[in-house]
């Protein structure tokens, strides 16, 4: 009899899971692509001579699949916003066959100055997981199936984008002198901040910290060194959110209140992107549409 009840309980749980999955699919907004615009006054007066703002297009968490033509078109059309700089904070790949589709989608943007760091899902393929483990914040171990990230990285660099992984990059783009530093994905302890430690060049007009995941232990180091703005993704904005976009989990060390959007981390501004994709094994977004962001950096008064 006990075994019978156990089987009935398992069957009930399976039916409930299917029911919840069907409900979520009915109100899913994974294809409701959006471009948010945020103004942030970080530049000293007189830096900008020809434009009112220095526009940074932030792309995160594509998790691209070959079949996602709508996402590829949306990303390609982002070139119409004429950014001065593109920043990509990783997790571009969702499938071993996706590199050509990522490059095709990004093709117009690869003509724009750019910088990038990768996430774990650039290096390793996703694997099937119980989606309910996400909702309890359980850290997931990546698969060991390596993705063809090296070819993608080479293509980015060949087109002129800078790999900021464990590097300090100083370059002038338009009127703005940039000091940028980045780390490898800290969510799975791939970071080594010691390789980039120290204050950004004081002659820079804008200093930016790049990390795939907004892990507090890394953000603390960037903030202590004096970076003005950190840019990251990874959280998917919570992915399955309460009404109003209130995150239930972050899938990293940052608190739920800062799972997406513009916030402060100590004295540093931090922006966390909701991202543009999901794992192919959890292809649902609720109250958290896929988003790219145009950060309009202006002069302060």
What residue spans define the domains of the chain?
1-30, 32-299
pLDDT at 270 (0 to 100)? 98
User: Confidence class of residue 131 from pLDDT cuts 50, 70 and 90?
Assistant: low
Tell me how crowded residue 143 is: count the other CB atoms within 10 A of its CB.
Answer: 16
| CATH of segment(s) 32-299 | 3.60.21.10
The predicted model gives 108-129 an average pLDDT of 94
Bridge partners of residue 59, in order along the sequence = 88
Burial of 142 (0-12, 13-18, 19+ CB in 10 A): middle
The predicted model gives 207-230 an average pLDDT of 98
DSSP 1-58: -HHHHHHHHHHHHHHHHHHHHHHHHHT--TT--EEEEEEEEEEPTTS-SS-S-EEEEE
The predicted model gives 68-94 an average pLDDT of 98
Q: Quick one: DSSP state of residue 132? A: H
pLDDT at 144 (0 to 100)? 75
**Predicted TM-score (pTM) of this structure:** 0.89
User: Confidence class of residue 156 from pLDDT cuts 50, 70 and 90?
Assistant: very high
Nearest-angstrom CA–CA distance, 162 and 8: 56
Nearest-angstrom CA–CA distance, 21 and 231: 32
Nearest-angstrom CA–CA distance, 283 and 236: 12
């Amino acid at each position: 009899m006990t075994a019978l009840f156990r089987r009935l309980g398992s069957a009930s749980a399976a039916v409930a899971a299917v029911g919840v999955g069907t409900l979520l699919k009915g109100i899913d907004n994974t294809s409701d692509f959006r471009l948010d615009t945020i103004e942030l006054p970080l530049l000293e007066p007189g830096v900008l001579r020809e434009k009112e703002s220095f526009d940074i297009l932030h792309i995160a968490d594509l998790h691209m699949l070959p079949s996602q033509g709508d996402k590829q078109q949306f990303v390609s059309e982002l070139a119409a916003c004429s950014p001065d700089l593109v920043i990509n904070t990783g997790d571009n790949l969702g499938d071993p066959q996706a590199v050509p589709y990522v490059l095709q989608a990004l093709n117009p943007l690869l003509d724009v100055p750019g910088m990038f760091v990768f996430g774990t899902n650039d290096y390793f393929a996703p694997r099937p997981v119980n989606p309910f483990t996400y909702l309890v914040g359980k850290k997931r171990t990546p698969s060991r199936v390596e993705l063809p990230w090296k070819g993608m990285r080479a293509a980015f660099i060949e087109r002129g984008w800078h790999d900021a992984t464990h590097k300090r990059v100083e370059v002038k783009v338009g009127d703005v002198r940039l000091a940028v530093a980045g780390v490898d994905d800290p969510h799975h302890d791939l970071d080594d901040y010691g390789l980039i430690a120290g204050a950004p060049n004081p002659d820079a007009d804008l200093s930016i910290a790049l990390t795939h995941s907004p892990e507090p232990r890394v953000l603390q180091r960037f903030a202590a060194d004096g970076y003005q703005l950190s840019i990251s993704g990874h959280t998917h904005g919570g992915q399955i959110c309460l009404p109003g976009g209130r995150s239930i989990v972050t899938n990293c060390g940052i608190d739920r209140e800062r799972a997406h959007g513009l916030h402060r981390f100590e004295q540093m501004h931090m922006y966390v992107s909701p991202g543009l994709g999901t794992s192919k094994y959890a292809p649902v977004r609720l109250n958290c549409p896929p988003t790219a962001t145009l950060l309009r950096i202006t002069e302060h008064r």
